[in-house]
Structure 1
Amino acid sequence: MASEIRKVAIVGGGVIGAAWAARFLLGGIDVSVFDLDPEVERKTQEVIANARRAQIRLHGAALPIEGNLTFAVSMEEAARDADFIQESLPEREDLKQRVLADIDAAMPAHAIIGSSTSGLLPSKLQSAMRRPDRLVVGHPFNPVYLLPLVEVCGGDQTSAETIEIASALYTRVGMKVLHVRHEIDGFIADRLLEAVWREALWLINDGIATAAEIDDAIRFGAGLRWSFMGTFLTYRLAGGEAGMRHFLHQFGPSMEWPWTKLVGPKLTGELIDKVSDQSDEQAAGIGLREYEALRDSCLVDIMHALERNDFAAGAVAKAYRESLTGKEAVKLGSDCGDGHVLTGHTPVLPEWIDYNDHLTEHCYLKLFGDATDVVLARTGAGPDYVSSGFSFYTVETHIRHLGQARLGQKVELRSRVLGTDGKRLHLFHAMTNLETGALIATAEHMLVHVDAKAEKSAPAPDHITQAMQGLAAAQQHLAPPEGAGRSIRMPG
């Protein structure tokens, strides 16, 4: 089963193979990479660094401990102790057939092969294998470590168990499986993309539009809708209250108009030069890795926005994070064992840092504010209580900066109740570096319970007061925290 897959071998470490390595590695699975490129290690590490940055932004502390990464000197070395092999070689049927047969001969009896082919039929790819039932197509989309879609397609001899195990593995590392039930050249997604690509080439070939103008037509228009609604749901809404039937009746006749040219223009040297020159001009000298980082940041922001609506790719990201969080041994709001409450556990995210790669000032307040919310939730004053019209408002804060938190470092926050009287709540938080145990910062807060509708302070209900007093009593054995009650003043 997918849960028993502990090691994945990547055969072919190009753009797709390296990104697959990042997806599995950051999903907590050991990865071995083989590629003949003498610079495969450098290139793969660069892709993984980008992926790590993006995945930390997307999933934060929920990410599991990374798997171990190794580079094999041969395909046989990579495959011989792997539970799953992801093949990502160039799109040449003869090459893939030969290498897939070699992988089959080298891998353990229980292992499965997933081919990243973007359009070759699995029945042909498995034709030279001794165990063809162990092959399935797992066609991803770039960047593999962020885009969740993977098309899974079996060949004539692929077993149902192989499809099930591969699909479960891809789901395990946060992907959305689209099961292609019938073999077809190009599968589903690439056939759609190919139609757009052919038409775009005609528009350039005929001098109608440039590469930049065609991209603008997509990214400022339909592309934004496609990211969460696709084509059919978008057109259904375009039909108004009458839905898709009205849309088809209204716009169906236009399908007979000679708008598009679904057969691509011949890729002459002149057209290749024209497209390449326009693409170079569009890139404006910005390098590959810089564009990759920008692309990843945009994708993460879109997925976070979709996640707030629990929709489309955002729902996949949310479900994956929840599955990871459910495996954590320590939960926010739980006791730390020394009397404190665990109120924060997160890596320092890229959007939290300043120009020195340190946690920026306002983010300390954010993290300490989040810690306060954890304490409030534990004592019954969480989001449901706030929605009822009551809450605790912070009226005074004192933060001490004692060290530095840098990009990617994991920090932990522990909190205690210094005092409460049913109307006021006195909290103290400490932030430490999880790797070194060094104290990074502390925060002291005074909060007042308020009736938000009346916009004035009010006593908290008995059950919340008792919960807070109980927590304070359970922490009385702790020594007074250093720095509590201090004020800012010049040395005397």
Structure 2
Amino acid sequence: MTQTAAIIGGGVIGGGWAARFLLNGWDVRVFDLDPDAEAKLAPVLAQARRALPSLTDVALPPEGCLSFHTDLAEAVSGVTWIQESVPERLEIKHKVLAEVQAACPDDAVIGSSTSGFKPSELQDGAARPGQIMVCHPFNPVYLMPLIEVVPSPHTDPALVEKAEAILRSLGHFPLRVRKEIDAHIADRFLEAVWREALWLVKDGVATTEEIDEAIRMGFGIRWAQMGLFDTYRTAGGEAGMRHFMAQFGPALKWPWTRLMDVPEFTDDLVELIAGQSDAQSGHMTIPEMLKARDDNLVAMMRALKANDWGAGAVMNAHEAQLREGTVLGAHADALDDVTQPILTVRRAVPLDWTDYNGHMNEARYLQAFGDASDRFMALIGCDADYIATGGSYFTAETHIRHVDEVHAGTLIEVRTRVLAGADKKLHLFHEMFDGTRLLATGEHFLLHVSLETRRPSEPAPAIVHALARIAQAHAGLPVPEGAGRAVGQRP
């Protein structure tokens, strides 16, 4: 059953929330009195539709339904989640939250995107304080995993658990903040860095560009995969954090920081920073910068995903949820009907899979068909646990035909059939589709091999049984077009 989220405020942050819910199959109602709300949200949705599907190696659910509302009671009626993203003024938030609670279900999660207010401040005077919590995101919400979940002592613990479970189902990483504190956790770090950066510019020590280079060429890269404390732990060598603190701890007493003070925002300082910022990146439009940002985020997060590390581990967990209960996560024994080619890949083509012509790179066809073979192996029981016992299938021969164009964002499906499967041999034929449009075919011949002797060997009986069932079911299918072809062979 499709669930519904209400987004209160359709700005940059509210739009990001709307995109994250919508692209994960939720129906989304956006409440915003701005008559141009739909037009302003459109580019955010376009960016999200381009970038978010590139993160995962399995397709997201079909999009939910998006609607726009100027009646708040209508927007929140019967919904599961309400995300408040109105301006950072407490009196506005109190007014909106009161109207929300007058019309929404008692068991709906009410999250606030506030970066500064504590939940107890939001709950002050509320009809049901236990329903309200802070769910503070990071921009772009449709890509960044972190959500700071901040309850107060009055927040219903069951609703907090519900909120965190929903966030995980969307591919987010809910970080429970133990105590209420102004600006929560992450923004306190950002505030400290921001203050010091303002002084460095004001005092003429560095330009905005030089400060940004110091971050992105240095500790910014480290922090993306290790954070602060793990980075310093490794800096301590084999002795770890204790050695690091003993060596560098005394430096904290040196008077080299101005973090407890902030420069006055004079017109001169504003013009200095704005002028340097224009010189730094004024050659790019904001949409161009946002596109580059999303492309880079996708590429970096996919690298982390390959190592199951940091934000990448969150993405892998989300993928496992997407596969659960589908043929993409099932064993052959769980499939009632195997008489037709079996779905082995269903995913959007990532941004980094395309070449200079904007087409899917040749190597990625092989990856997609290789993923299909891997999925089929797992389907018949040749999974990671089996491979750890010393047996696996090795690819001996591959032939790929490129039939039609494929571009980034295309939702591809690979359907696999067994041309032959007995003893040590496995002969697979893959067809890649965009809907009903055939894009490519891949033919793989594999041999079961002992990882100890590195020679062909008999598979385990369970694999033989599962493979034989599918091979027999596929034996009656007509030979697919292109099977057995060689390079350059005429039709």
Q: TM-score, normalised by structure 1?
A: 0.88
Deviation at 1:403, TM superposition (A): 3.5
Match for 1:315: what amino acid? Answer: A
1:32 touches 1:71 (CA, 8 Å); kept in 2? yes
Residues 269, 74 of structure 1: alpha-carbon distance in 2 compared, 3 angstrom cutoff: farther
Residues 286, 14 of structure 1: alpha-carbon distance in 2 compared, 3 angstrom cutoff: same
Residues 324, 35 of structure 1: alpha-carbon distance in 2 compared, 3 angstrom cutoff: same
- Corresponding position of 1:341: 342
1:228 touches 1:306 (CA, 8 Å); kept in 2? yes
Q: How does 1:281-430 map to 2 (within 5 A)?
A: 281-328=279-326, 330-331=328-329, 334=332, 337-354=338-355, 357-379=358-380, 385=387, 388=390, 391-397=393-399, 399-419=400-420, 422=423, 425-430=426-431
SS of equivalent residue, structure 2 residue 158: helix
1:151 touches 1:179 (CA, 8 Å); kept in 2? yes
Alignment match of 1:149 (pick from 143, 146, 151): 146
Alignment match of 2:191 (pick from 194, 200, 203): 194
Partner Cα separation in structure 2 for residue 304 and residue 491 of structure 1: 40
Deviation at 1:445, TM superposition (A): 3.6
**Structure 2: unaligned runs, 5 residues or longer:** none
Match for 2:94: what amino acid? Answer: Q
Which sits farther off after the overlay, 384-393 or 172-181? 384-393
Partner Cα separation in structure 2 for residue 420 and residue 159 of structure 1: 56
1:10 touches 1:33 (CA, 8 Å); kept in 2? yes
1:395 touches 1:448 (CA, 8 Å); kept in 2? no
- Corresponding position of 2:80: 83
Partner Cα separation in structure 2 for residue 339 and residue 275 of structure 1: 63
Which sits farther off after the overlay, 11-20 or 70-79? 70-79
SS of equivalent residue, structure 1 residue 174: coil
1:204 touches 1:275 (CA, 8 Å); kept in 2? yes
Deviation at 1:215, TM superposition (A): 1.1
- Corresponding position of 1:43: 40
Partner Cα separation in structure 2 for residue 425 and residue 170 of structure 1: 41
- Corresponding position of 1:254: 251
Q: How does 1:93-242 map to 2 (within 5 A)?
A: 93-155=90-152, 157-242=154-239
Deviation at 1:259, TM superposition (A): 0.6
SS of equivalent residue, structure 1 residue 61: coil
2:145 touches 2:311 (CA, 8 Å); kept in 1? yes
SS of equivalent residue, structure 2 residue 227: coil
Match for 1:39: what amino acid? Answer: D
SS of equivalent residue, structure 1 residue 59: coil
- 1:173-208 alpha-carbon deviations (Å, 9 max, x no partner): 222222223222111211121111100000001000
Deviation at 1:489, TM superposition (A): 5.5
Partner Cα separation in structure 2 for residue 66 and residue 379 of structure 1: 31
Q: How does 1:419-458 map to 2 (within 5 A)?
A: 419=420, 422=423, 425-433=426-434, 435=435, 437-447=436-446, 458=455
Deviation at 1:300, TM superposition (A): 2.2
- 1:269-288 alpha-carbon deviations (Å, 9 max, x no partner): 11111111111111132122
Match for 1:147: what amino acid? Answer: M
Which sits farther off after the overlay, 252-261 or 73-82? 73-82
Residues 400, 245 of structure 1: alpha-carbon distance in 2 compared, 3 angstrom cutoff: closer
2:450 touches 2:457 (CA, 8 Å); kept in 1? no
Alignment match of 1:63 (pick from 60, 63, 69): 60
Match for 2:192: what amino acid? Answer: A
2:402 touches 2:439 (CA, 8 Å); kept in 1? yes
Deviation at 1:109, TM superposition (A): 3.1
SS of equivalent residue, structure 2 residue 38: helix
Deviation at 1:238, TM superposition (A): 2.1
1:332 touches 1:374 (CA, 8 Å); kept in 2? no
- 1:372-416 alpha-carbon deviations (Å, 9 max, x no partner): 33344445655554994864333352x333434444333322223
Q: TM-score, normalised by structure 2?
A: 0.88
Which sits farther off after the overlay, 358-367 or 79-88? 358-367
Partner Cα separation in structure 2 for residue 443 and residue 242 of structure 1: 52
Deviation at 1:318, TM superposition (A): 1.3
1:333 touches 1:341 (CA, 8 Å); kept in 2? no
Residues 331, 235 of structure 1: alpha-carbon distance in 2 compared, 3 angstrom cutoff: closer
Percent of residue pairs bearing the same amino acid type? 46
1:76 touches 1:103 (CA, 8 Å); kept in 2? yes
Residues 426, 13 of structure 1: alpha-carbon distance in 2 compared, 3 angstrom cutoff: same
Partner Cα separation in structure 2 for residue 11 and residue 176 of structure 1: 22
Match for 1:24: what amino acid? Answer: F
Deviation at 1:116, TM superposition (A): 0.7
RMSD: 2.9
- Corresponding position of 2:476: 477
Count of residues in correspondence between the two structures = 484
Deviation at 1:18, TM superposition (A): 0.6
Match for 1:480: what amino acid? Answer: V
Residues 6, 475 of structure 1: alpha-carbon distance in 2 compared, 3 angstrom cutoff: closer
